[in-house]
Amino acid sequence: MSRTSKQRNGRAGRDRSAQHPADRDPADLAPSVDRAWADEFALEQRLLDVPGARIGDALVTVESHVAESGETAQEAFGDARAYARELADSEGAAPGPVGVTTATWAVLGLVGMVLSGWGFSAWLEEVPADISVGALVGGAFVLTSLGVLLLAPGVVLRALVSRLWVGAVLMAVPVMAMGVAMVLLPATAFQVPALPVLALGLLLVAVASVLGWFDHDQGDLVLAPGERPTGDSRVRLRLALVLPAATLVVLMLSWVVDLLL
């Protein structure tokens, strides 16, 4: 690698490192490293619950070696995923379940979105909201699936990203199970007025958004050595707005369906 090329790569690395961590791709910390290799390494470390600061430090170390030696990352460190696992084992990753706050706002948000869409659809049709036996059974299955994801995120996410068809099946099964349960068990369990259901759903979404804002565990950004996670309000704001935005989409789709039918 020529001196000019190294200088150019060094400037590119500094420019990318100067970005806010929330807007930066982790692989940007290693501009001389093959992009696919860096992406695989960062993803594997994430799946192993390695803290963001350590991922960033490792990427910068790989970048420094590649830029100085002229070797590729594959030549110097081997397979990206194998090296990521080796580092995680040697430094002691700390895998574990998702925090209580994260689990709480995720579940509240999901329930709130479902209730909001249900109540809004019933309100548009000017009828009470029917809660069927199938909906209760299917909803319980979906919440159980979410609980598995929250308690063992590494295992589930690894299955999602390792094989496309596995991920598709895992994502589709809870939704399909809920649909089948609603078809097979159509009997009405109880009825409630539409507006209270809608109001409760929106309230749960609002509460979940507030909890998401205060959920600092979700702001584990990949940082360069010596970098501090200052100004993480943008990350927290994005987390807080995800559920309201998704709920708005659900309400708009319900409105469109009502107009078409």
- Quote the pLDDT of residue 201: 92
The pLDDT tens digits of the residues spanning 219-244 come to 556 665 655 555 455 656 666 777 88
End-to-end CA distance of the chain: 64
Quote the pLDDT of residue 199. 94
| Domain end point (choices 61, 91, 121) | 91
Q: What is the pLDDT of residues 204-217, one digit of tens each?
A: 999 988 887 776 55
53/109 same-domain check: no
Contact 111, 242 (CB under 8 A): no
Quick one: pLDDT band at residue 1, thresholds 50, 70, 90? Answer: very low
Q: Identify the top-confidence range among 10-24, 54-68, 169-183.
A: 54-68
Specify whether 86 is located in the same domain as 131. no
43, 137: one domain: no
Residues 129 and 59 placed together within one structural domain of the fold: no
pLDDT at 123: 92
Cα–Cα separations (whole angstroms), residue 81 to 40, 86, 241: 6, 9, 33
For position 10, what pLDDT does the model report? 43
Do 215 and 102 form a contact (C-beta atoms < 8 A)? yes
**Do 106 and 10 share a structural domain?**
no
Domain check: are 119 and 226 in the same one? yes
Bin 24: left if φ > 0, else alpha if -120 < ψ < 50, else beta.
beta
Q: Is pLDDT at 3 greater than 60 in this prediction? A: no
Mean pLDDT of the chain: 76
Q: Which tokens sit at 194?
A: 């539409």
User: How many domains would you assign to the chain?
Assistant: 2
Please check whether residues 255 and 215 belong to one and the same domain: yes
Which of 71, 91, 111 finishes a domain?
A: 91
> What is the C-alpha to C-alpha distance for residues 238 and 231, in angstroms, rounded to an integer?
13
Neighbours of 75 (CB within 10 A): 10
Single residue among 63, 91, 119 that ends a domain in this structure: 91
Report which residue type is found at 76.
A
Q: Are 111 and 234 members of one domain?
A: yes
pLDDT by residue (tens digit) across 72-87?
999 999 998 899 888 8
Bridge partners of residue 95, in order along the sequence = none
Domain carrying residue 57:
3-91
Assess contact for 12 and 31: CB atoms under 8 A. yes
Query: 140 and 71, same structural domain?
Result: no
> What DSSP assignment string belongs to 17-58?
HTS-GGGS-GGGG-TTS-HHHHHHHHHHHHHTT--HHHHHHH
On whether both 76 and 107 belong to a single domain, the answer is: no
Instruction: Answer yes or no: do 55 and 72 share one domain.
Output: yes
More confident residue, 120 or 151: 120
Q: How confident is the model at residue 4 (pLDDT cuts 50, 70, 90)?
A: very low
The answer on 171 and 59 residing in a single domain is: no
Q: How confident is the model at residue 203 (pLDDT cuts 50, 70, 90)?
A: very high
